[in-house]
Amino acid sequence: MKPSKYILVISYFVNENGMACSHHIDDRLAHFRAAGYEPVVLSSLCVPKLHNFLHFRVPSVSPSGLRFELRQLFKRKGKESLLWKARNLILLPLLPFYALERMFVRIDTIWYWLSPGVWKGKNLCKKYNFSFIYSTGGPAVSHSIAYQLQQKFKLPWLAEVQDPLIHDYCANTDQELQRLKRVEKETYQHADRMIFLTQQAMKSTEARLGTKGNGSVVYPGAPAIQQQPSHALSDHFILGHFGSLGGVRNLQQLILGLELALQHNPSLIDILKITLYGNVGDDDRARIDSFSHHDIFSLKGIVPREDALRAMDNCNALLLIQGVHDISTETIPSKVYEYLQTEIPILALVHKNPELTQMLQSMNHFPTATSPEAICETLLRLYKNFCEQNIVAPKTSPYTIDNAVQQIISLASRNMTTG
Consecutive H or E run containing 336: helix 335-342
Residue 411 has a pLDDT of 95
Of the candidates 241, 42, 3, 14, the one whose C-alpha atom is nearest the C-alpha of residue 137 is 14
Residue 78 has a pLDDT of 72
pLDDT band at 253 (very low <50, low <70, confident <90, very high): very high
CA distance 129 to 6: 7
Handedness of CA 357, 394, 315, 398 (dihedral sign): negative
Q: Tell me the DSSP string of 130-169.
A: EEEEEE-SSSTHHHHHHHHHHHHH---EEEEESS-S-STT
Average pLDDT of the chain to the nearest whole number? 89
Per-residue model confidence as pLDDT tens digits over 77-131: 777 777 777 777 777 777 776 676 666 667 778 888 999 999 999 999 999 999 9
Q: Which of 84-88, 232-236, 242-246, 265-269 has the lowest mean pLDDT?
A: 232-236
Domains of the chain (ranges plus CATH)? 6-221+401-413 (3.40.50.2000), 237-388 (3.40.50.2000)
pTM, whole model, 2 decimals?
A: 0.89
270 forms beta bridges with: none
354 forms beta bridges with: none
Q: Which whole number is the average pLDDT over 338-363?
A: 95
Q: Which whole number is the average pLDDT over 338-343?
A: 93
40 forms beta bridges with: 8, 54
pLDDT band at 346 (very low <50, low <70, confident <90, very high): very high
